[in-house]
Each structure stands twice: as C-alpha cells, then as structure tokens.
Amino acid sequence: PGDPAILIGLADTGVAMHHAELEARVRPGFDSVDLDPDAVGGLTLVGDFRHRGQRPDDDVGHGSGCAGILVARGTGMPSGGAGLCGLTPVRVLGAAVGADAKRFGVGALDNIDMGMKRLIDLGVRVINMSFGTPDSMLDGDAPRPHEEVIRYAQARGVILVAASGNSGLEERFYPAAHDGVIAVGAVDRALKPASFSTRGAHVALCAPGRDIVTCGLDGYQNANGTSFAAPYVAAVCALMASRAQRRAWPLGGEDCRRLLVASARPFARAGVAGSGQGVLDADAALRALDDFIDQRLRDADSDDASIEPSPARVAA
C-alpha cells in the first residue's frame, strides 16, 4: 500500500539518516535549528544547535523513533505503517540534557515554524508533529504557537497530525489543539488510554503509545508517549491520501479526521473522557474512505442526471 509520490513530513529532532531501517526510505531533508544557549531557560544544549543546513541529523533519538513507526523497513522491528510512502524529515528541535543525563528535544517557535514551512513548500501531503507547548505556559491574549504556519499548511491541503501531550491532564498543547489538526492520544497494549496521555475535547482518537519498539540513534529503543502514537495516525493518513489520489479525489484534513474518528475501534474501557472517539483502525479507515468517495461520486452522478437542458433562445 501507499505511493512513493505521497510524502510525509516529519518535524522533529531529526533522523538517524544511516540507520539500517531508514536509510533507503528517507528523502533529503533540512535542519532549521539555530538556538541561543542563553535563551533556553538554563538548559544545557548538546550536539549541533547553531548550524542550519541540509542534514537533519538526530542528536536525541526522538525523531528517529517517529520515523521508524512511519517508514521502517522492518528488519528488526515492525515495518513502518506508511507502506511505500516517502518520508521527508526536517530537524526543528535541538538536543538538551537533563540532570539524569537523558537527552530530550528543545526548540524555538521560529525554528519550528521555519522548518514546517519548508516541509509544506517541499510538497509533503502529511506532517507529523510530535511536540507541543502547553496552554499553561502562554499569556492569555497571546496568539497560540504555530497559528500562522498551521493556516499556511491547511490552505495548501496538507493533513496535520500532532501528539496531544504527556501531562496526563485535561489541557491543551499546541499545535495539537489548533482547529483542523488531528490530535492523537495514546493507548496501552490493552487498548486503554494511557495514564500519561493528555486529554481534551480537541483529541480526535488514540493510537498505540506504550512499549513501542522502534528505531533509536543506533539500534532500537522501547518508547512511550503520545509522540509515538501520532506517527501511527500520520502513516494511515498517508495511506488514505494515496488511496484518494489513485481515485482522483481531493482528500482534505477535515474529511480525513472525520473518517478516522468514525472508523475508530472502541476503547477497552469506556468512559475515559477527553481521549477521543476510540483507537485507530487502519483497515477500517481505508474502507470508510472508499465508502465516502463512492457515495460522493454517486451523489455527483445523481445531481448530473437531475439537470434538464433548457431550450436555447436566440435574440432577434
């Protein structure tokens, strides 16, 4: 399934470009990171954080993990969910190190927006955004982060997928909480919403996000978080875009979201408010897309058949 002409944009910490699972599947990308060490709240930056360029090399492992879920060859882990679709990575997050010596992604909003726009201009059909800023960190009247670039993407028909967050609370993270973005929470192996998964009315659905085997910087990692749930949904969006393109149907983000929600499987435990309408079901989503296109085509044929020609009049 999928189509190499359908590209998924990955805005993240970069990708381990020479990973055996990824090197044949990843297109050339870009590095938009240029961080001021004095403007990151006292964090200790590591790796390359000042030199933008053509190589989106990962210093954290987060982006590589997302990339594996999307397009891994499947030699030492499950194959990526996007089939034959291509992946274009842009490094929008640099690397910082915490007190426990673990690395994590950190970024500046303008770096992220620059990288996002680059992906859009490169012609990607879907963008995965496994990062976010909580509403609690923002001034009440200030514009929400990434608002302008989200509108830019939507005006060009790009399907946007974002992780809901890992706070375990009911709150809004951006870009996931923007209108038209498909916000994704996480479930465990029992299909129950994960305790860490951020909830809210904006969350569309959930996908696997606990004990995920995927690519690391070197080898493999066992990952947890809504960051790793979002790529499962982005992969299915790419498959849906491929199917729609073969049928010459212009699939937009709103229709894609609606079909994903309508085709989702129920949670193993009911009554988890704010976790969306269920769990991602790729096969059901593709069937729902076919049914949707078939119905729209029947409606169009019916409308055409109901139009009666009017007699022509020639002015004297």
Radius of gyration of the chain (CA): 21
| Residue 227 is among the residues annotated as catalytic for this protein | yes
No. of helices (H) and no. of strands (E), the chain: 6, 14
Whole-Å CA distances, 67 to 98, 120, 156? 24, 18, 23
Return the structure tokens found at 155: 């005006």
- Which one, of 161, 82, 49, 79, lies nearest residue 116 by Cα? 161
Query: Catalytic pick from 32, 130, 164, 227?
Result: 227
As a whole number of angstroms, the distance between CA 174 and CA 144 comes to 7
User: Which candidate, 56, 55, 88, 52, places its Cα nearest to that of 70?
Assistant: 88
Residue 257 has which token pair? 């979201």
Strand ranges across the sheet with 182-187: 30-31, 86-91, 7-12, 126-129, 159-163, 182-187, 203-208
Q: How far is Cα 185 from Cα 195, in angstroms, rounded to an integer?
A: 10
Residue 219's contacts (CB-CB under 8 Å, 6 or more residues apart) are none
| Residues constituting the chain | 316
Whether the Cβ atoms of residue 131 and residue 107 lie closer than 8 Å to each other:
yes
Strands 103-106 and 86-91, how do they pair?
unpaired
Other beta carbons less than 10 A from residue 145's beta carbon: 22
C-beta of residue 98 within 8 angstroms of C-beta of residue 26: no
Active site residue 12: yes
Catalytic-role residue among 19, 32, 62, 255? 62
Residue 147 buriedness (CB in 10 A; 0-12 / 13-18 / 19+) = middle
Q: Which of 12, 31, 58, 255 is catalytic?
A: 12
Alpha carbon 293 to its chain's center: 23
**Active site residue ranges:** 12, 62, 227
